[in-house]
Amino acid sequence: MRTIRNSAVLALVFLPGMVFGGAHFDGNWHTRLTCPPKGNTDGYTWEFPAVIQNSNFHGEHGVAGQPGYLLIEGPIAENGNARLSANGIIASREYAKGAFAHQGESYSYSIKAQFTGSTGSGARDTGLGVVGRPCSFEFTREQGSQSGPPAK
What is the number of domains present in the chain? 1
d(CA 49, CA 120): 14
DSSP-derived secondary structure for 55-80: TEEEEEES-TTSTT-EEEEEEB-TTS
Please check the confidence at residue 79 and state whether its pLDDT lies above 50: yes
Supply the CATH number for residue 136's domain.
Answer: 2.40.160.90
AA letter at 73: E
Q: What is the mean pLDDT of the chain?
A: 82
Q: Is position 11 within any domain?
A: no
Q: Is position 65 within any domain?
A: yes
Please check the confidence at residue 19 and state whether its pLDDT lies above 90: no
The pTM of the full predicted model, rounded to 2 decimals, is: 0.77
Residues linked to residue 56 through DSSP beta bridges, in sequence order: 53, 75
Contact 30, 50 (CB under 8 A): yes
Residues linked to residue 71 through DSSP beta bridges, in sequence order: 60, 87
Region label for 130, one of left (φ > 0), alpha (ψ between -120 and 50) or beta (otherwise): alpha
Range of the domain at 48: 25-141
Task: Check residues 30 and 104 and name the one with the higher pLDDT.
Answer: 30
The rounded percent of the chain whose pLDDT value lies above 90 is: 56
Query: 26-66: per-residue pLDDT in tens?
Result: 999 999 999 999 888 899 999 999 999 999 999 999 999 99
Please check the confidence at residue 151 and state whether its pLDDT lies above 50: no
